[in-house]
Amino acid sequence: MASVADIGVSAFINILSAFAFLLAFALLRIQPINDRVYFPKWYINGSRSSPRRSTNFVGKFINLNVTTYLTFLNWMPQAMRMSESEIINHAGLDSAVFLRIYILGLKIFVPMTILALLILIPVNVSSGTLYFLRKELVVSDIDKLSISNVRPESLRFFVHVGLEYLFTIWICYLLYKEYDIVASMRLHFLAAQPRRAEQFTVVVRNVPHITGHSFSDTVDDFFQRNHPDHYLCHQAVYNANKFAKLARKRERLQNWLDYNQLKFERHPEKRPNTKTGFLGLWGEKVDLIDYYKHQIKEFDKRMSLERQKIIKDPKSILPVSFVSFKTRWGAAVCAQTQQSKNPTLWLTNWAPEPRDVYWRNLAIPFVSLTIRKLIISLSVFALVFFYMIPIAFVQSLANLEGLERVAPFLRPVIELKFIKSFLQGFLPGLALKCFLYILPTILMIMSKIEGHIALSNLERRTSAKYYYFMLVNVFLGSIITGTAFEQLHSFLHQSPTQIPRTIGVSIPMKATFFITYIMIDGWAGIASEILRLKPLVIFHLKTMFLVKTERDKVRAMNPGSVDFPETLPTLQLYFLLGIVYAVVTPILLPFILVFFAFAYLVYRHQIINVYNQHYESAGAFWPHVHSRIIASLLISQLVLLGLLSTKKAANSTPLLTVLPILTLAFHKYCKHRFEPAFRDYPLEEAMAKDIMEQSTEPDLNLKAYLADAYLHPIFHSFEEEELVEVKDRVDKHQAQTASPLTSEISSPSPSHLVYHPTSPPQHVYHPASPPQHYYQPPTPPDYFFPPHSPSYYGYHYEN
């Protein structure tokens, strides 16, 4: 058990490393050469197009202004300068709400820290048992400040119970207020949004197949019959997964070609070549530039074949459709109601915004979804509780004996004591580290298999899974030593009343561990977040090898976005630690406070200067944040109950049993009170916006506005004549659809797939211009994706 001195050392090291990171950041960020890494948001915004610090040659790369080095912490006040409404305009509501979580943390924990330190420390310290009773045991100084120090059967436990009540009320009050504010912020944000395609559009899944009718006809028929006054048009979804895969491969080849061409330009004396065999070690020697050019040509052929197939084959139309309505009211109605007798058909939901759509999952049928959910929830359970098994297996493979058997020539090196101990300490850890590093990716893939159709939803699901993992493996795993599997075993064989006791007893003893954890993961981790080491390296590698044009530079910039799947669960873990330890070991609270304050500053800076969210969910993650804090409250109450029952505080314990019930009731109330605002679009709002728009723009051509909003992004790369062909085919279907009954109600000639020849010509694919990138989406930053989503459909830039 760590003493106060140990913690001091740990704190010193971590503060030092945090400062080192900050210093490095301060130095690197003012170098013009790094400007695109540390201020990409301003480039994307269009308010900056090149670093404007100096005019001479060296000044273009290195900052020569000495005064700027002296004020190395001035990013902090800069970060605070923007108001919340400015941040909403600048970075979107998601980012603003994300920052509010940190503020909520500060609001919760500042008064709690003061109160707990002022009241509990004196109560715990005076007349403690630990001084007198078990001098022989190695007891940490921290423990003397904790509840462990109070004599069993003491009346002082009433103070702890009272504070638990007070804290619960305080947290619930703040949570209620915050939920209220966030919900109204969301509604205001949605109300203030300009006209957007998703406001009018509903995604319809599981369109039934009617023989002799295409899906387009079926959709048209159905909505003209059942929403005659509101239905406008719809957009069919094409299965372009294979094409997207080809496009991705071709993009990779193009990168290699660019790289080699650049290499050749810089060293014109030597034309790059390689051997065709494995890793270029043997085989026929080829000229690389010609080789890649040839390969790309091959791919172009295959892709044009695939394109033909998508256009010609009616099977490439999926049983999914984006249905647009004349009014927001009509879309809100359709999204919230049940359409068909068979509730597994015609599933309607709000369409995610176009850049938020995860195209691959659109075509999953209903039965499959149920099975997928079952399989994934079982897998997550297995992953959370049994993840140590495969890692232990890998570790046992990677131990020294195994290594010696495989490579006997290494024996003399391995047998050296220093190297041996290093390897023995290092190899098993490496396997675990690797696993933890790829964990978010694994969880994201799982969420994708589950079948959610919006990226925002995928990220929320991933975040939930990550939270369960952290709760079991970091929180419980640290308290009850042993693997999660062992914990599960002991939980299954203990009585339900025993579990809180087991946890409750060991919780005060683990305070020092968690203090260290907060310093390493919280303080130093956040400081390294601001440094952006990985993007920095990648950016410089790319500018060195790939960047030729200004546009390439923009693409190499990759600002990324707030990594919700990782940051939200981490944050929630800190809330859990703070709430659980507030009454047990209040000395932990200041460390949490520092984390919240520091992380708030860092993320405020990052959101203002770096991150560029690739979708906007209008704070849709808030209900999750809320319910996880409630869960933390419940855990803290149960743990305190268990702890007090081992302390024989029979008088005060029954008082505590009421608290979880009240907390749950509060949660249920909040859920009913606020959650619908995050799920449904109220008709009142929709109608108000419709009326306003009608009065300001009475002759708006909504159909033209919506025409290709939800066009599968692959079509933006199609050639003009092909698109016309697609359109023709759809129109022909159209002609035969409209039945005599519905045609008189419906709007004339709905066209659900319209090509705009006026779109900028550079967005269209021209095979004759190889140096240009194959695919260029209309608004590049929209198609950036976080590094952990490699399997995202197609418009994914290699980092």
- Of the pair 340, 751, the CB lying nearest a second copy is at 340
Helix axes 564-584, 93-115, angle to 10 degrees: 10
CA-based max dimension of the chain: 94
Q: Which two tokens stand for residue 404?
A: 């010696």
- Minimum distance, C-beta of residue 319 to a second copy, in the bound complex (Å): 17
Q: In degrees rounded to 5, what are phi and psi of residue 71?
A: -100, 55
- Minimum distance, C-beta of residue 363 to a second copy, in the bound complex (Å): 18
- Minimum distance, C-beta of residue 370 to a second copy, in the bound complex (Å): 5
- Of the pair 255, 349, the CB lying nearest a second copy is at 349
- Minimum distance, C-beta of residue 681 to a second copy, in the bound complex (Å): 8
- Minimum distance, C-beta of residue 673 to a second copy, in the bound complex (Å): 6
* 761 Cβ contact list (under 8 Å, min separation 6): none
Of 786, 647, 777, 638, give the one whose Cα is nearest residue 713: 777
- Minimum distance, C-beta of residue 564 to a second copy, in the bound complex (Å): 25
- Minimum distance, C-beta of residue 125 to a second copy, in the bound complex (Å): 35
- Of the pair 319, 508, the CB lying nearest a second copy is at 319
Alpha-carbon gap, residue 104 to 407, rounded angstroms: 56
Contact 140, 1 (CB under 8 A): yes
Q: Which amino acid, residue 89?
A: N
- Minimum distance, C-beta of residue 379 to a second copy, in the bound complex (Å): 12
- Of the pair 130, 182, the CB lying nearest a second copy is at 182
- Of the pair 67, 495, the CB lying nearest a second copy is at 495
- Of the pair 114, 371, the CB lying nearest a second copy is at 371
Q: Which two tokens stand for residue 347?
A: 């599933």
**Cα 691 from chain centroid?**
36
- Minimum distance, C-beta of residue 40 to a second copy, in the bound complex (Å): 36
Alpha-carbon gap, residue 644 to 630, rounded angstroms: 21
Contact 362, 453 (CB under 8 A): yes
As a whole number of Å, the end-to-end CA separation of the chain is 44
Alpha-carbon gap, residue 598 to 233, rounded angstroms: 50
- Of the pair 74, 694, the CB lying nearest a second copy is at 694
- Of the pair 378, 434, the CB lying nearest a second copy is at 378
Residues that bind a second copy (CB under 8 A): 184, 187, 222, 225-227, 229, 329, 332-333, 336-341, 343-344, 346, 366-367, 370-371, 373-374, 378, 491-498, 661, 665, 668-669, 672-677, 680-685, 687
Q: Which amino acid, residue 162?
A: G
- Minimum distance, C-beta of residue 659 to a second copy, in the bound complex (Å): 14
- Minimum distance, C-beta of residue 378 to a second copy, in the bound complex (Å): 7
- Of the pair 370, 549, the CB lying nearest a second copy is at 370
Alpha-carbon gap, residue 619 to 346, rounded angstroms: 27
User: Cα angle vertex 59, ends 54, 61, to 5°?
Assistant: 120
- Minimum distance, C-beta of residue 457 to a second copy, in the bound complex (Å): 17
Q: Which two tokens stand for residue 367?
A: 């039965």
Q: Which amino acid, residue 451?
A: G
Q: Which two tokens stand for residue 414?
A: 């391995």
Of 784, 567, 531, give the one whose Cα is nearest residue 97: 567
- Of the pair 77, 676, the CB lying nearest a second copy is at 676
Contact 462, 440 (CB under 8 A): yes
Contact 737, 783 (CB under 8 A): no
- Of the pair 229, 697, the CB lying nearest a second copy is at 229
3-state secondary structure of 794: coil
Q: Where are the alpha helices (DSSP H) in 471-524?
A: 477-479, 484-492, 498-506, 511-517
- Minimum distance, C-beta of residue 327 to a second copy, in the bound complex (Å): 11
- Minimum distance, C-beta of residue 337 to a second copy, in the bound complex (Å): 4
- Of the pair 620, 753, the CB lying nearest a second copy is at 620
User: Cα angle vertex 471, ends 468, 475, to 5°?
Assistant: 165
- Of the pair 684, 728, the CB lying nearest a second copy is at 684
Q: Which amino acid, residue 78?
A: Q
Helix axes 720-737, 215-226, angle to 10 degrees: 50
Round the CA-based radius of gyration of the chain to a whole number and report it.
30
- Of the pair 215, 222, the CB lying nearest a second copy is at 222
Side by side, the strands of the sheet bearing 317-325 are 231-238, 317-325, 201-205, 347-350
- Of the pair 416, 664, the CB lying nearest a second copy is at 664
Alpha-carbon gap, residue 671 to 676, rounded angstroms: 8
- Minimum distance, C-beta of residue 560 to a second copy, in the bound complex (Å): 34
Phi-psi region of 760 (alpha: psi -120 to 50; beta: other; left: phi over 0): beta
Alpha-carbon gap, residue 666 to 118, rounded angstroms: 29
Phi-psi region of 619 (alpha: psi -120 to 50; beta: other; left: phi over 0): left
- Minimum distance, C-beta of residue 338 to a second copy, in the bound complex (Å): 4
- Of the pair 186, 773, the CB lying nearest a second copy is at 186
Alpha-carbon gap, residue 637 to 451, rounded angstroms: 36
Contact 597, 436 (CB under 8 A): no
- Of the pair 135, 493, the CB lying nearest a second copy is at 493
- Minimum distance, C-beta of residue 101 to a second copy, in the bound complex (Å): 23
- Of the pair 256, 485, the CB lying nearest a second copy is at 485
Give a three-class secondary structure readout of 219-241. HHHHHHHHCCCCEEEEEEEECCH
- Minimum distance, C-beta of residue 503 to a second copy, in the bound complex (Å): 15
325: part of which helix (H) or strand (E)? strand 317-325
3-state secondary structure of 378: helix
Q: Which amino acid, residue 735?
A: A
Contact 302, 246 (CB under 8 A): yes
